[in-house]
Chain A
Amino acid sequence: MTPHILSLKKYFGVYGALIALTFATVAIASVNLGPLNVVFALTIAAGKAALVGLFFMHLIYTSHRTKIMAVAGLVWLAILIALTLSDVLTRGWLPVSGQL
């Protein structure tokens, strides 16, 4: 078997990016952006997760079957959170007959 081998430069580059993004997320959190704070925090976290997944976890060169598993995990997580919040966040939007 001849494994794919990513270069050391790539691993250290990803590491540098992850550390830089950690500084960025702390810096941005200290500025008051209102509702945008959580958007930035989660976007940066998703970016860091993508870097870890693609390079450290080798999704960038792994088999398509394995990639499908990773994507399936994200899809089901999205369903779990989106459907749960679609209930909680929309309560009281419409009047319900018989509601006090």
Chain B
Amino acid sequence: MSEAGSALATQFDDLDQQHDAATLGMWIFLVTEIMFFGGLFAGYAVYRSIYPQAFAAGSRLCEIALGAINTAVLISSSLTMALAVRAAQVGRRRAVVVLLVATMLLGTAFLGIKFVEYGHKYAEHLIPGSGFAYTGPYAQQVQLFVCFYFAMTGLHALHMVIGVGLLGVMAVLAARGRFTPAHYSPLEVAGLYWHFVDLVWIFLFPLLYLVDLHK
């Protein structure tokens, strides 16, 4: 049996059809993810419209420099991910592994910066709960903003952790020569997931860090 034959599941006519099905299936999953995060974004929109002053004050608690650096780090990781898929398309196995490892390192750097931010919040007693020490006006509503901050960035960070693990598996498969220009669907699908996580952050960054700096 040829290499293409072993990669082809029996229910598909050919690798093209299999690749289409894998991509379509991943997108259906991503739509459920859009709705998953969408609930949080809708909740954020509701409470921001009810408590605009408190959400503006809460937004100013975020560290814009760290958020902006993290945005650049994540966009860079999306580039290396896209280039890894491209390297698989042109059959450069070593480049696939190197680019996947680079993507994982950038993803880990993002999580590290996030960890530092969480550490600052902890040190300033800005963790929601009985220890919440914000003393400005609308303290309760600011606490609500911080709840959204942790829930949204936390859920996003969880997706990052899963993504780094997934890419680790892909790097091992790539190193073993399991991807060819004819068959790289798992890598394509893992890339879609990674880019989706980037997409979520592209909206989280302005909504949590940048909105209403002047209110």
Contact = CB atoms under 8 A, between A and B. Distances in A.
A binds B: yes
Contact of A19 (B20, B28, B50, B72): B72
Interface residues of B, number: 56
B68 A73 contact: no
Contact of B35 (A18, A30, A56, A73): A73
A2 B203 CA distance: 34
Contact of A80 (B38, B68, B81, B205): B38
Majority-rule SS of A interface residues? helix
Nearest to A57: B195
A93 interface: no
Counting chain B CB atoms within 10 Å of each CB, which of A5, A26, A57, A70 scores highest? A57
A38 interface: yes
A73 to B, nearest CB: 4
B16 A77 contact: no
B88 to A, nearest CB: 9
Interface of B: 14-16, 19-20, 23-24, 27-28, 30-31, 34-35, 38-39, 41-42, 45-46, 49-50, 64, 68, 71-72, 75-76, 78-79, 81-83, 86, 89-90, 181-184, 188, 191-192, 195-196, 198-199, 202-203, 205-207, 210-214
18 contacts: A1-B181, A1-B182, A1-B183, A5-B90, A8-B83, A14-B79, A22-B71, A26-B64, A37-B213, A37-B214, A42-B206, A52-B78, A58-B188, A66-B20, A73-B27, A73-B30, A80-B39, A84-B46
